[in-house]
Each structure stands twice: as structure tokens, then as C-alpha cells.
Amino acid sequence: MRQIAIEVLRRIKNIIITIDYFLYQVVCLGNPDPGESFSGSFYRVERDKKFFGFMRPFTDFLFSPFEKNHCYKSYMKEISAKNR
């Protein structure tokens, strides 16, 4: 029973990530880097000192019960996936 619950949570997480990628594509009118999410982009724009960088601390705060440095980790996963 526990295995089933873990699998369901994994699938829900994958669906949420897919929705995040899709919505980011829509907001950017289809012009962001492929595979970039809101979280990864918030880290990147803060690092580059661009306007929406103020969203990184807010997003990290929202995800703090689940993961520390969420935006940085998202950015690193996206970079890693691009280099495969």
C-alpha cells in the first residue's frame, strides 16, 4: 500500500512540473529556453540582476516546507538536463 502511495505522489509531482513548464511557455509566448521552469528562471533572472529576480525569494519561501533553495536546485536540474 505504501508503494502505491509513493507512486501516486511521484506522478502528481510530475504532472505539476509539466503544468509549470507549459504555463511558463505560455507566459513567455513560446520563447523561453526549452525545459525551463518558473523556478529555474527566477533563479537565473535574480543572478543576472533582472527585474523578476524579486520572485526567487518568494518562490523559495513557498517551497521551503518541501525543499531548501528550490529555485537554485531547479535551475541546476535544468542545466544538467540540457547538457545530456
Burial category of 7 from C-beta neighbours within 10 Å (exposed 0-12, middle 13-18, buried 19 and up) = exposed
Report pLDDT digits (tens) over 11-22. Answer: 999 999 899 999
Specify the pLDDT at position 10.
Answer: 94
Specify the pLDDT at position 77.
Answer: 92
Q: Which residues of the chain have pLDDT under 70?
A: none
Specify the pLDDT at position 84.
Answer: 76
Spatial neighbors of 46 by CB under 8 A, at least 6 apart, are: 53, 54, 55, 56, 71
Whole-structure pTM over 0.95, yes or no?
no
Please count the CA atoms within 13 angstroms of the CA of 80 that sit on its side-chain side: 6
Specify the pLDDT at position 33.
Answer: 83
Burial category of 74 from C-beta neighbours within 10 Å (exposed 0-12, middle 13-18, buried 19 and up) = buried
